[in-house]
Structure 1
Amino acid sequence: MSPTLLGALLMTASMAAFTLNDTMLKLTAGDVPLAQLIFLRSFLTCTLMLATKGRIGTMHFDIARRDWVLIGARAVSEVVVSYFFLTALFHMPLANLNAVMQVVPLAVTLASALFLREAVGWRRFAAIIIGFFGVLLIVKPGAAGFDIWSAYALLAMIGVTARDLITRQLSPTVPSMTVALSTAASVMTAFGLVSLTGAWVAVPSHIWFLIVGSAVAVMAGYFLSIWVMRVGDVSFTAPFRYTGLVWALIMGWFVFGEWPGWLTLLGAGIVVVTGVFTFYRERKVSRG
């Protein structure tokens, strides 16, 4: 198997793992308060990260002060994202939420041009505008299909964009697993404190299975996404992130009996096409 093909398969598997995580969390169906649920999942994730230290990826804490500030800012954004994303997840079809999140690469490109002064040509600007039009088809503002949960999905998308923009400013020497552990620990701490403001509930055995499965799926997603960076051409494998939408459609249909309407599918298709085009243009520009 060529490195390029292996990278594409790994990226596809990574997206499947992250979608499986979303599916398991959605299956908890509000049986556990949100803060308690996120705390337990984050605690298990941190435990797995520490148990696999050095096996998945390098982890050390000898990091410059500037990078620690960025990691802290990234952690804050992840706390916000966790709340809005998971709240929307419990109230929206899995594929609809995933489709909204697919616009993140376009939003990061736009934000990089606005805040980091990165060069973005007119072709990519046009793709971004068309991609955001696709998002409007998904959330349907002003229509009966738009509600508070659609707004939560948009806020989660904005939060992930901010998180990824911060991540781009980290020094190349900062280990990915150190960032992941710091973020998971921050989320665990934040929602652990929030959970103390309300009563905890006993967690049924089947919910424990879903929480543990979610933590394992997240770890698998991290492992596969890091492996992707080590093989093949990253600019080629990056568009395979959009296979997450395919997995979300499959999971939503088989597990929850959900299937998006044609406007949502059209909007998702526009987002994917414009996103792939943006990856292509970035690859072409970077190679001169």
Structure 2
Amino acid sequence: MNPKAANPAVTGVLLGFMAFAAYALSDAFVKSLKGSLPAYEAVFFGAALGLTALPFIKGRNDRWREVLKVQRPGLYLVRAIAGAVGSIAAVIAFTALPMAEAFALIFLLPIFVTILSVVWLKEHVGWRRWSAVVAGFVGVLVVLRPGFRALGIGHLAGAICALAGAVSMIALRVAGPHEKRITLYSAGVIGPILLTGVLMLADFRWPGLAQMGLLLGYGLLAALAAVLLMLATQITPANHVAPTQYSQMLWAVLLGYVLFHDELDWPMAVGIAIILGAGLFTFVREEKVTRWWKRVRMV
């Protein structure tokens, strides 16, 4: 179906929901590996499969050399490293934690974006957005309940994933107006391929048939999600598409319950609700205060 045949705003939002459903399914595939492969090896194969999206990401006037030909190499490097660190951390978080709990920590991303926009971009942040930051961290405390339950590497990895994603988002804000879409996308796959490729040299384990099937689902679904998200933001303002990301939490609860028998207790549900509310409020305030996605489309 031609995405422009229907109401563009409605179609773009629907494509956004489809994209984040694909991302959630991708995460379920990598969680199904259950740590049978090192996280960096899973990321390597996932990122390599992510290259399959390049022909669809590439614009009509883009050149293949623009995958690596960048106007802001420092920012490209930042996004590449952040993409690699964030991807590895995400695999560790999903392997070690229930899906909903992992997403709750990863959804700290907009909160970290607000903090980094002050530190890095010197943006003015009013009391409303700071209130959302405080509420987000209160939500995390409710979810984690430090002192009342054991915390592990998965919780740290989830927070690192959110921070790495925020660093990448800030770099995207600065580099976006100067780079082609194919260049911006390539940083998120080439960085993980190079870094995890080096890490694999010390202890490479060739995946078995079942593992390869799960890796295919992980990588190809993520590539499909990137293409769907690109189509969504081509026809609909990205600020309308961005909130659809929070539908991943519904998928996380459903997939976690059906596939992995995850349990969601009331304190965790309350904490997740606080985090989601703070994140959505931050998106709304970002639109009113900075309007940055009028200049930069999501990738």
- Residue 60 of structure 1 and its aligned partner are, at CA, apart by 4.8
Residue 268 (structure 1) shift: 1.1
In structure 1, what is the Cα distance between the partners aligned to 2:41 and 2:97? 21
Mapped contact 1:61–1:178 kept (Cα < 8 A): no
- One of 216, 221, 224 as aligned partner of 2:220: 216
- 2:120 pairs, out of 95, 115, 124, with 115
Output the CA distance in 2 between the equivalents of 1:56 and 1:244: 31
1:180 is aligned to: 185
Runs of 4+ residues deviating >6 angstroms: none
- 2:208 paired residue number: 204
Answer with 207-216 or 272-281: which moved more.
272-281
What pairs with 1:41-190 in structure 2 (closer than 5 Å)? 41-46=46-51, 48-52=52-56, 54=58, 58=62, 60-62=64-66, 67-190=72-195
Cα offset, 1:222, TM superposition: 0.6
Query: 1:172–1:181: structure 2 CA closer, same or farther, 3 Å change rule?
Result: same
Aligned to 1:251: 255
The reply to whether residue 33 of structure 1 matches residue 22 of structure 2 is no
Structure 1 regions of 5+ residues with no counterpart? none
Stretch moving more, 143-152 or 253-262: 143-152
| 2:236 is the alignment partner of 1:225 | no
Distance 1:56 1:13, change over 3 A: farther
Contact conserved, 1:59 with 1:178, CA < 8 A, in 2?
Answer: no
Question: 1:223-255: CA deviations, max 9, x gaps?
Answer: 111112112333233222111111111111111
- Deviation of 1:275 after TM superposition, in Å, equals 1.9
Match of 2:174, SS state, is coil
- Cα shift readout 1:75-116 (whole Å, capped 9, x = no counterpart): 111222222221122111111001111121122022202321
Helix, strand or coil at the partner of 1:141? coil
CA, structure 1 residues 56+267, in 2 after alignment: closer, same or farther (shift >3 Å)?
A: farther
Q: For each residue in 1:129-182, what CA deviation from the matched residue of structure 2 results, as whole angstroms up to 9, or x when unmatched?
A: 111211121222233242232122212222221121112110414123322223
CA 93–85 in structure 1, closer or farther in 2 if over 3 Å, else same? same
- Letter in structure 2 aligned against 1:179: L
Alpha carbons of 1:133 and 1:61: their partners in 2 closer, same or farther (altered >3 Å)? Answer: farther
The normalised TM-score by structure 1 is 0.89
Provide the TM-score with structure 2 as the length reference.
0.86
Give the SS at the match of 2:224: helix
Q: Which has the larger displacement, 87-96 or 37-46?
A: 37-46
Choose between structure 1 and 2 for higher RCO, CA contacts under 8 A separated by at least 6 residues: 1
How many corresponding residue pairs? 285
Letter in 1 for 2:112: A
Distance in 2 between residues matched to 1:275 and 1:2, nearest whole Å: 27
Contact 2:100 2:253 in 1 (8 A): yes
For residues 231 and 178 of structure 1, what CA distance do their matches in structure 2 show? 20
Residue number in structure 2 paired with 1:265 = 269
5+ long unaligned stretches in structure 2: 1-5, 292-299
Q: How far did 1:55 drift? A: 6.8
Matched residue, 2:3: none
Task: Identify the range of structure 1 (83-92 vs 174-183) with the bigger mean alpha-carbon deviation.
Answer: 174-183
Inter-partner Cα distance in structure 1 for 2:38 and 2:255: 24
Coordinate RMSD, CA, aligned: 2.3
**In percent, how many aligned pairs have the same letter?**
25
Distance in 2 (alpha carbons) for counterparts of 1:266 and 1:59: 48
How much has 1:52 moved relative to structure 2?
A: 4.2
Aligned-partner Cα distance in 1 for 2:20–2:28? 12
Distance 1:179 1:95 in 2: 29
Aligned to 1:10: 15
Q: CA deviation at 1:283?
A: 2.7
Displacement of 1:72: 0.9
Q: Is the alpha carbon distance of 1:35 and 1:56 closer, same or farther for their aligned partners in structure 2, counting shifts above 3 Å?
A: farther
